[in-house]
C-alpha cells in the first residue's frame, strides 16, 4: 500500500490507521518503507514506529545522518524513555535527497532490516512487544514518504540470526542462485517426505513381524525361528530407511546455511558438515547390517527373565519363618487391638527397643505360635478370640469396687472395654437403622462429596490425604497413609454433625415413619426406637423423660405463630405435617446423638 506524505521538522509523528493500515501491529509481519531524507535538518532521523501506544511505548526502526555518519538503527521507547542499544546500531551509506528503501521483518522479538536490498541488522529486541499502532516519524529532519507496505509473513520464512547470513529481503527479486537454492530445497523436502512414507511403511511391517515372532515365542511354536529372522531383517531395513532420512535432513539443513566467508570458519556450518558426516557413517553401518542374518530383534514391551532370582521369595520366607516370630506377634497384636480396643503391646507401631513391653507376654507368644501352627490363617485366630471368656465379658463395671480400685485401666481384662464406633461405622449404622444402607459389594471408588446422597457402605468412598468425606473426618476417619492404631477424639463437633447432618435428619424421619406403623402407643414407640437405634430397651426413667418430651414438643408444634429458624442441614425429606408425628421424628433424631449410639459395648 502506498502513502505519499511529507513531514517537516515540526510535524514529527503521523499515525497510519487513518490511511488504511492495520490499527494494531501483528505478532509477525514483513514491511517495506520507501522514503527520501530532505534538507534542512541536523540529525536527520526518519523511520517507522510499530507497537506504538500513545507515544509512551513503541518499537522503532530508522535511518539517521548525524555528523556525516549515516546509520540504520533500532530503538525502544518505554514509558516515555528511549533506549538505543549498541547491538541495534549499524553504519550504512545513505545520502540526503536520495531515495532509501528500508525492508524489515518482525517475528516475535526478532528483527531483520535491509537497506537497499542488503541485510544490515539482525537483532533481538530486548523490550517485550505489545499490541500497538503503526506511525511514520522524523526527528530534526524533513522527509518525504513514497511507499509503505505491511504484509503477512510468508510461511517458512526464516529470519537471519546474524548479518553474516546471506538472507535476502522478502521483497527482493530472487537471483538465479536464489532460485536454484529454492529448487534444491524443494527437491530435498520432497525426498524427505517420500522417505518419511517409506519409514512409516517399513516400521509397520517390522512391528507386525515382531508381534508374530513374540506370539510364536510365547506359544513355543515350531516356526519361531523363521519368524524371528523375518522380524530381525525387517527391523534392520526400517533402521536403514531411518538412517537415509537422517542423512537427507542433515544435508537439507546444511544447504540452508550461507557459505563461509573470510578466514574464520563458520561454527554453524562446521557443525552442520560434521552432522552430515556422522549421519552418512551411520547409514553405511545400517546398510551393512541389512545383509546380516540372525534372530535378534527388539522385543515388544518390557521383557522379564524366564526364571526368578528368588530374592522376593527368600524375603517372604524370612518374614514368615517360624524362627522370626515378630511377624506373627505384630499380626496378633493388630487383631487383638481391633477386638478389644486395647493392644497387648501398647506401642502398636513400635516393636523395637523403644517400644513398651507387652501387658501379657505369655498370651502374645501363645497366640503367635498358634497363628503360625495354623498356617498363618486369620479366621481361626478371630474365632479363637471371639469365643474366649475374656471377649464375652460385659463392658458394664458392675458392682466390683475392688476390681475398679485394683485395676482401673482394665489391664487384666476383668471387663470388656467399651469403644467408640469407627467413623465409617457411625455413618453405616445411621443408614442401617433406617433400612437404607446399600450393601452392594465391589465396584469403583465413589466421590467423597456424594456421601450424603449415595447410600453405599463408607469403605467404598474415596479417602486420600486431600479427599475425605467431611462427615467421617469429624469422627476420626482412617489415616490413608498408616494402618497402625486409629486415634479417637471426643469433640463437640461430632454431636453437631449428627444433629445438623441432612443424612441423620432424613434417616430419623424415615425411621419414625416406619416405627409409627408398627406401634400403637408412645411407650411402644419409645421402646422400639431404643431397640432399633441403641440396641437396648429403654429404662423406666428414659420412658418417662421421652414421654414428657413428646408431649411438650407436640404442644409446641401445635402453637401458631412460632418463630422458625433454618436448620443446619439440607434435608431432602420434609417433616411430617402431623405435630405428634413431627415430635416423634425429633425424638428419633435426638436418639441418634445419644452416646450409646456411637459406643460399642
Q: Say what percent of the chain tops pLDDT 90.
A: 52
Residue 17's pLDDT is 47
Half-sphere exposure of 586 (CA within 13 A, CB side): 19
User: Both 285 and 216 in a single domain?
Assistant: yes
- The angle subtended at Cα 292 by Cα 289 and Cα 298, nearest 5°, is 70
User: Both 460 and 506 in a single domain?
Assistant: no
Using the 3D structure, point to which of 173, 200, 227 is the last residue of a domain.
173
User: Both 42 and 164 in a single domain?
Assistant: yes
User: Both 35 and 142 in a single domain?
Assistant: yes
pLDDT digits (tens, 9 = 90+) for 182-198: 788 889 889 999 999 99
DSSP states of 347-370: -TT--STTSPPPSSHHHHHHHHHH
Give yes or no for a contact between 227 and 234, defined as CB atoms under 8 angstroms apart: no
Tell which wins on pLDDT, 586 or 563: 586
Query: Is the CA virtual torsion 181, 183, 186, 192 positive or negative?
Result: negative
User: Both 41 and 26 in a single domain?
Assistant: yes
User: Both 477 and 572 in a single domain?
Assistant: no
Residue 188 lies inside a defined structural domain of this protein: yes
Residue 19's pLDDT band (boundaries 50, 70, 90)?
Answer: very low
Where does 35-117 have alpha helices with state H?
A: none
Which uninterrupted H or E stretch holds 38?
strand 28-38
Residue 48's pLDDT is 93
pLDDT over 90 (residue 406): no
pLDDT digits (tens, 9 = 90+) for 24-72: 566 789 999 999 998 887 888 999 999 998 878 999 999 999 888 899 9
Average pLDDT, integer, range 90-108: 92
Residue 406 lies inside a defined structural domain of this protein: no
User: Both 99 and 164 in a single domain?
Assistant: yes
Residue 401 lies inside a defined structural domain of this protein: no
Give me the number of domains the chain comprises: 5
User: Both 12 and 154 in a single domain?
Assistant: yes
Residue 22's pLDDT is 57
pLDDT over 80 (residue 258): no
Average pLDDT, integer, range 546-565: 84
Residue 25's pLDDT is 60
Residue 411's pLDDT is 86
Domain that holds residue 100: 2-173
Q: Beta-strand (E) ranges in 54-109?
A: 57-66, 69-78, 81-83, 89-91, 99-107
pLDDT over 60 (residue 271): yes
Average pLDDT, integer, range 137-158: 87
Average pLDDT, integer, range 415-435: 90
Which of 399-408, 412-421, 487-496, 560-569 shows the lowest per-residue confidence on average (mean pLDDT)? 560-569
pLDDT over 70 (residue 21): no
Which of 36-40, 313-317, 343-347 shows the lowest per-residue confidence on average (mean pLDDT)? 36-40
Amino acid at each position: 500500500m502506498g502513502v505519499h506524505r511529507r513531514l517537516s521538522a515540526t510535524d514529527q509523528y503521523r499515525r497510519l490507521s487513518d490511511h488504511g493500515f492495520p490499527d494494531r501491529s501483528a505478532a509477525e509481519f514483513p514491511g517495506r518503507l520507501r522514503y527520501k531524507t530532505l534538507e534542512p535538518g541536523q540529525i536527520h532521523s526518519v523511520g517507522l514506529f510499530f507497537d506504538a501506544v500513545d507515544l509512551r511505548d513503541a518499537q522503532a526502526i530508522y535511518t539517521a545522518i548525524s555528523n556525516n555518519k549515516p546509520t540504520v538503527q533500532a530503538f525502544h521507547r518505554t514509558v516515555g524513555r528511549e533506549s538505543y542499544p549498541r547491538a541495534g546500531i549499524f553504519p550504512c551509506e545513505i545520502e540526503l535527497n536520495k531515495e532509501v528503501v528500508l525492508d524489515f521483518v518482525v517475528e516475535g522479538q526478532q528483527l531483520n532490516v535491509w537497506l537497499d536490498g542488503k541485510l544490515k541488522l539482525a537483532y533481538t529486541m530486548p523490550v517485550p512487544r505489545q499490541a500497538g499502532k503503526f506511525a511514520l516519524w522524523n526527528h530534526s529532519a524533513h522527509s518525504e514518504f513514497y511507499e509503505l507496505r505491511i504484509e503477512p509473513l510468508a510461511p517458512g520464512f526464516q529470519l537471519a540470526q546474524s548479518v553474516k547470513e546471506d538472507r535476502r529481503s522478502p521483497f527482493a527479486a530472487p537471483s538465479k542462485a536464489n532460485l536454484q537454492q529454492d529448487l534444491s530445497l524443494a527437491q530435498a523436502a520432497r525426498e524427505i517426505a517420500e522417505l518419511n512414507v517409506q519409514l512409516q511403511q517399513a516400521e509397520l511391517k517390522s512391528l507386525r513381524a515382531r508381534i508374530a515372532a513374540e506370539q510364536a515365542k510365547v506359544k513355543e511354536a515350531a516356526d519361531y525361528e523363521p519368524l524371528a529372522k523375518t522380524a530381525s531383517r525387517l527391523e534392520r531395513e526400517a533402521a536403514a530407511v531411518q538412517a537415509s532420512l537422517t542423512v537427507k535432513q542433515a544435508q537439507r539443513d546444511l544447504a540452508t546455511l550461507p557459505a563461509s566467508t573470510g578466514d574464520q570458519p563458520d561454527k554453524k556450518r562446521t557443525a552442520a558438515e560434521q552432522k552430515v558426516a556422522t549421519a552418512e557413517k551411520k547409514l553405511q553401518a545400517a546398510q551393512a547390517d541389512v545383509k546380516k542374518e540372525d534372530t535378534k530383534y527388539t522385543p515388544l514391551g518390557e521383557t522379564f527373565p524366564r526364571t526368578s532370582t528368588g530374592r522376593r521369595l527368600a524375603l517372604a520366607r524370612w518374614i514368615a519363618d517360624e524362627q522370626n516370630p515378630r511377624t506373627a506377634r505384630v499380626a496378633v497384636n493388630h487383631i487383638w487391638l481391633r477386638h478389644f480396643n486395647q493392644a497387648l503391646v501398647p506401642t502398636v507401631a513400635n516393636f523395637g527397643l523403644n517400644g513398651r513391653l507387652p501387658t501379657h507376654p505369655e498370651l502374645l507368644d501363645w497366640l503367635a505360635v498358634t497363628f503360625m501352627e495354623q498356617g498363618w490363617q486369620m479366621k481361626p485366630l478371630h474365632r479363637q478370640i471371639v469365643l474366649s471368656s475374656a471377649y464375652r465379658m460385659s463392658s458394664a463395671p458392675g458392682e466390683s469396687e475392688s476390681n475398679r480400685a485394683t485395676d482401673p485401666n482394665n489391664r487384666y481384662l476383668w471387663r470388656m472395654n467399651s469403644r467408640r464406633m469407627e467413623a465409617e461405622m457411625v455413618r453405616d449404622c445411621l443408614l442401617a437403622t433406617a433400612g437404607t444402607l446399600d450393601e452392594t459389594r465391589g465396584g469403583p471408588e465413589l466421590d467423597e462429596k456424594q456421601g450424603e446422597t449415595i447410600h453405599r457402605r463408607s469403605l467404598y468412598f474415596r479417602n486420600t490425604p486431600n479427599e475425605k468425606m467431611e462427615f467421617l473426618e469429624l469422627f476420626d476417619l482412617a489415616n490413608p497413609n498408616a494402618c497402625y492404631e486409629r486415634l479417637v477424639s471426643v469433640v463437640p463437633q461430632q454431636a453437631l454433625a449428627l444433629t445438623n447432618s441432612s443424612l441423620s435428619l432424613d434417616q430419623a424421619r424415615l425411621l419414625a415413619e416406619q416405627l409409627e406403623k408398627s406401634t400403637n402407643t408412645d411407650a411402644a414407640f419409645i421402646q422400639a426406637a431404643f431397640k432399633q437405634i441403641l440396641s437396648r430397651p429403654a429404662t423406666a426413667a428414659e420412658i418417662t423423660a421421652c414421654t414428657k418430651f413428646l408431649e411438650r414438643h407436640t404442644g409446641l408444634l401445635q402453637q401458631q405463630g412460632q418463630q422458625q429458624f433454618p436448620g443446619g442441614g439440607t434435608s431432602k425429606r420434609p417433616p411430617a405435617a402431623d405435630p405428634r408425628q413431627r415430635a416423634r421424628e425429633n425424638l428419633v433424631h435426638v436418639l441418634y446423638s445419644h452416646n450409646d449410639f456411637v459406643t460399642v459395648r
